[in-house]
Structure 1
Amino acid sequence: MATLREPIKIFIVQSLACFETPQQVVESVKQEFNIEILRQQVALYDPTKATGKNLSKKLKDLFTRTRKEFQTNIHDIPLANKAVRLTELQKMYNGLTGNRVMKTKLIKQIKDEMQGYEIQLLDAQLKQLEIDKIKNGDGEGADDPTPVKVTIQVVDASKENAEHQSDPECTSG
């Protein structure tokens, strides 16, 4: 096995942390660094595998940070964005000529992609209106609330002559 320089080790660890397979990493290393390595050598840099148990603390920490960032930053993936997906579907649709079956499938896929979009938009607009009302003092609770006196009266219902008696102070407010 070839001895790898630090930048190649980092590249391998980060690739594995992003869920690339050892074979994909081998191909990427060949393309990026023009070095041929084996899948077994790549596996040494995956701390989640038994073969990677002797990986340095520095590279283990890099793996952990990279994986956490990769899993939490889905917004960095273009296809995670609905507008990007719809644009790609539109390009595919425009590129089709005469294939009605495929066009129909793409239209259905676009329709499915849009499912609930109008409701999401409406919800966002309503929330913004509520926020604006509160900010401008036009909404509910904009005025100072009037204090109300609340009295709780307990009546023993086990007695025959138990009745609720109104308190005149409680009727106002």
Structure 2
Amino acid sequence: MEPREELTFIQKRFLVQRLACFDTPTAALKAFEEEFGIKLQRNRVAYYNPTTKSGAALADDLKEIFHTARKEFLAGLDAIPITHKAVRLRHLNRQLEHFADRNAAPIVLGILEAAAKEMGDAFTNKHKLEHTGANGKDLAPASVTIIQLPDNGRS
């Protein structure tokens, strides 16, 4: 493509949406070249991100597309499997089974540690001791009650 040749609206929208989904200009450029078969300069791609200095002059309709796409992308994070603890633990479990069958103890220990961290240090050797009472106040001293036992003639 000639340096001054104008992109179509569809091509511009493609770049805007890729950048709105946090693709780097290089990644967006690569995807653009694969999709449209057109070579662009990286700095030309960066223009389609209105959150940057070079994209400040982007047309209002493209800015709106950018902000809508970004909002939808961020709202859709639940659709990405790795954002769910159960998916991450299932993956770790598959790895554990794979490496346990191969007697790869260091890798297995690393996977077990990763699973413990995923669960919130549930299986570590860390002991948490309570040194303060409610709201950070000192703990009340333990009271000891002494019971006097009958002598029953033993001394």
Q: Do they fold alike, i.e. is TM over 0.5?
A: yes
- 1:75-154 equivalences in 2 (<5 Å): 75-96=78-99, 97-115=102-120
Q: Which structure's relative contact order is higher, taking Cα pairs within 8 Å and 6+ residues apart?
A: 2
Unaligned runs of 5+ in 1: 118-173
Shift of 1:115: 2.9
Distance in 1 separating the partners of 2:98 and 2:7:
45
Letter in 2 for 1:62: I
**Change over 3 Å in CA distance of 1:79–1:37 after alignment to 2:** same
Unaligned runs of 5+ in 2: 123-155
Give identity over the alignment, percent: 33
Letter in 2 for 1:107: L
Distance in 2 separating the partners of 1:83 and 1:64:
31
**Change over 3 Å in CA distance of 1:91–1:30 after alignment to 2:** farther
Q: Structure 1, residues 38-84: CA drift from partner, whole Å, max 9, x if none?
A: 21111111111121122111110011111122223321221111121
Which residue number corresponds to residue 19 of structure 1? 22
2:50 matched to 1:47?
yes
Over aligned residues, Cα RMSD in angstroms? 2.0
Q: Structure 1, residues 73-98: CA drift from partner, whole Å, max 9, x if none?
A: 32122111112111222232233223
In the comparison of the two structures, how many residue pairs are matched?
A: 117
Which is richer in helix?
Answer: 1
